[in-house]
Structure 1
Amino acid sequence: MEAVGQFGPGFKPPTQYQLREPLLKAEVERTKQLLKKHEEEWAKNGCSIMTDAWTIEKEEAY
């Protein structure tokens, strides 16, 4: 908050879009770079990555 206050009362913060777009693009690029190593291993070993996206959101009370 102190750092924002140094810009004064006329400071207009970036919009949600201005923040979201560059951060998302950077994260996509980072993920691609992380996968690159795995893809090289796939070519050598024929392996793949699998995920289980199923989650339990709420446990039932007994």
Structure 2
Amino acid sequence: MAAQVKLIEIRLGMGIGGKSYITLTGDVSSVKAAVEVGANAVTKTGMLLNKEIVASPRKEVFNNLL
């Protein structure tokens, strides 16, 4: 399965128990598909805490990410 998404950032947490997050952009269905594939891979290791998709973030969110 392939999805048309763009990876914006991988943020690795330091001092917060190894938590990290990734930021993707693309159409909602493609991002959902990509997140599911990634979550399924990580779930097998027992390391997935949560996943969340923000379908229509405010412009200010992107300004703070880039």
TM-score by length of 2: 0.29
Greater length-normalized contact order (CA 8 Å, ≥ 6 residues apart)? 2
Structure holding more helix per residue: 1
TM-score by length of 1: 0.31
